[in-house]
Structure 1
Amino acid sequence: MQSKINSFFKPSSSSSSSSMLTERSNSPPQFCGDENDELAIWEKTQHTIVNTYTRRASEFERIDNKEEASDEKSEKPISGNMLSREECGSNGRNLKKKKRSYAQFHLELGQSNFLLHDCSTCGVKYSPGDEADEKNHTVFHKNFTLGIQFKGWRNERVVHTPNGERGRVILVLDSDPVAQRNKVQEVVKMMEMEMELGEGWIFHKLCRVYLFILSQRIAGCVVAESIKEAFEVLSCSIGATTKQARPKSGKLRFGDIVLQREVINIAPSEVSHESRNGAILCKKEAMSAVCGIRAIWVTPDNRRKGIATQMLDAVRESFCRGHVIEKAELAFSEPSSDGEALAANYTGTTSFSVYKTGNLCG
């Protein structure tokens, strides 16, 4: 192919053509009368067309050349600012700057597994299948059911040690170090969440906090405060409010159904006291009291083990220095149904005392 191209553009003899060119270059051009002869002589003397080409490398040869070039690049240092064409795309972007991540994503198309689940024990909402979400729920669930982790302090104020148990009751005051007060706040937040109380209601600076420590966890907490007076609860008002039907009350008849109106009779010597379950009845005359139980809480997995009783005993023994408070001098604030049962069981009577949270000892 090359020979055909050369024969087409060049004279047959290279030596004669070169000698002819040298002679014509040395001698001035001779012009004839004919214009065509002049143009032909001028083209032969001034224009020499040389056509060269290179054969395109095959695909296998290109792969070998790329491997050799990559080997040479690995031997030669490359500056951080200079990038080769192979490392960049056609638009100059660096393709090796960041590796692609192939993380698995999910499409939420109404599957039940992607819905948030409510934990029936701790009340936390979490997404099953999400590793981080499940881990956070596991940690919180364990702290809620067993108690917040507690490795102990150097200077603990141990006020009570139950007989035959590994647990202990420690007292924390507002004047204690910051680390101890922060731990109290962590427990108080857990109590507020389960008791559904407002933020900041359970604890204030004048309160004394008793923590029950069991197996390096805080299994229970009592928040106590000084009070001046309390009111005795009527035994008939616990659990249900007494109702007395009028013998001659009005009746409403709907066919065969007869509805009889009932009224609640409150004696003049009785007053209503608000609790978390509604109104409870207590006597109008106030009686003296020393210690008010503002809140008491035990972790779900540690209930029915006598921990609340042990903490109340610790409060009676250590609240007043050198004096053990009688059970009749304890009063409870806004008891729930479980709190009413605990107070009645601990004091041994359904006529225990309650107090208003605003009536504090100055």
Structure 2
Amino acid sequence: MTTNPPQVRLAAHIAFEGVGKSFASAEGQVHALQDVSFDIRHGEIFGIIGRSGAGKSTLLRTINALELATEGSVRVQDVNPAELDEDGLVALRRRIGMIFQHFNLLSAKTVRENIALPLRISGARPGQIYHRVNELLALVGLLDKADKYPAQLSGGQKQRVGIARALVHSPQVLLCDEATSALDPETTQSILGLLRDIHRRLGLTIVMITHDMTVIRAICDRVMVLDQGRVQEIGDVWKVFGSPSSAGTRALLQPLQQGLPIELAAQLQKAPSELAPRALLGIRYEGQQQGVALQALKVLGDDAQLLHGGLDRLRGHSLGQIVVSVPAAGLPGADLLRIATGADQLEILGYVGNH
């Protein structure tokens, strides 16, 4: 008799328990967060995504007590920031670095001086400051920019300075507040690559908020979707991308979906005919660990034509959709085809002419 091994539950680094946050306004109480409960694990890259106004920034700022919850609690390694005195908050914030969308650099100070500022404020010795700043300049690839001013840097270089400054006290947690939103796509990929490298080297817990699903896909282990201050869903990135359970998540994913090309959609008919003798199949895969076996697609026959779509590889799982044209005559039902092809979903999209 065999027994299953016990499930290992990774310890929570940050825990939200029934968190609510309300603000007074001219129109009355505004509920920015409502009954938010979830955990962020030690050493993971965790994404929080939602539309503008969803409450992402408010939620992120409760971690280092820049905002205090009006209901529930936030705990960082079992410490509630709301219960700390001023000295306790200072100590906590040194363990939590933060980078911002618009960099927040002091224009009158050099790169070296911007990075060194938190150390100077904390009373570190000049020799310690010089050594630590040089370490961080090397880490973010800016040793040759140490004596430049922010106005002399590109957007990506400014964000690298912001990252170095956030790491100056060797934090255990790094908060990223829309850290790539002000950057072009190429620079965004460079910054995400740097964050991945920092995560690998230092083992930090990284919490990112963004409205961009491509950022989540590129770097995060798990993701939580926030809408109107409430949790919509949470899970491994590949699961949420492959099979979103909420309408809000599906809307956020829509720009990444490979919709049916316009010219094919215009030809679709509801039933087969002499002018539309071929069925168009949408075959969707939502997390195949071993990829998609081409042998399984042979069930579609020698006359099958791949017309559109593709698969993506995400955290070791294959996700995506292919659109295939096959003869409509003698076509098995969609359920049988789904099983035969190993698909997670298979739909007969309609009927078209020969291609």
TM-score, normalised to structure 1, is 0.19
Q: Flag the structure with more relative contact order, 1 or 2, with Cα contacts below 8 A and sequence separation at least 6.
A: 2
Larger Rg, first or second structure (1 or 2)? 1
Structure (1/2) with the larger strand percentage:
2
TM-score, normalised to structure 2, is 0.20
